[in-house]
């Protein structure tokens, strides 16, 4: 089967650091994506991991451990505009489709 788990909601303070976790169980693995989605808008690509380790991209970093079926998205120096849903998605082997988790709704407070 295929299953992706993320916390439903998180809150944080402006300027702080937040880590959003994602665990997955899928039939084969060919990469993990993180997308940001503001309410009612299109998801936008944030990061991609296919090998174990940390990928850093400005204020955002993403980590992957394939043996543990685990990833996290780290957001630093939080800004109000970071309030959004963060979607973890896995690309199974031999396919281009994405399997999405239900998303983590992050609220950033002043």
The site for another protein (CB under 8 A) is made up of 31, 33, 35, 40-45, 48, 50, 87, 89, 95-103
Question: Which residue's CB is nearer to another protein, number 10 or number 99?
Answer: 99
Structure tokens at 103: 């998303």
Q: How buried is residue 71: exposed, middle or buried, by Cβ count under 10 Å (0-12/13-18/19+)? A: buried
Question: Which residue's CB is nearer to another protein, number 43 or number 69?
Answer: 43
- Smallest gap from Cβ 80 to another protein, in A, equals 22
User: What gap in Å lies between CA 100 and CA 88, rounded to an integer?
Assistant: 6
- Smallest gap from Cβ 100 to another protein, in A, equals 4
Question: Which residue's CB is nearer to another protein, number 18 or number 88?
Answer: 88
User: What gap in Å lies between CA 52 and CA 73, rounded to an integer?
Assistant: 14
**Residue 17: DSSP 8-state:** -
């Amino acid at each position: 089967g295929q299953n992706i788990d993320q916390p439903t909601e998180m809150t944080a303070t402006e300027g702080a650091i937040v880590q959003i976790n994602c665990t997955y169980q899928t039939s084969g693995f060919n990469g993990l994506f993180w997308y940001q989605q503001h309410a009612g808008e299109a998801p936008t690509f944030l990061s991609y991991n296919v090998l174990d380790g940390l990928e850093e991209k400005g204020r955002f970093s993403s980590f992957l451990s394939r043996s543990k079926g685990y990833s996290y998205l780290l957001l630093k120096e939080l800004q109000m505009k970071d309030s959004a849903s963060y979607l973890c998605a896995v690309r199974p082997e031999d396919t281009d489709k994405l399997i999405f988790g239900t998303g983590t709704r992050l609220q950033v407070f002043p």
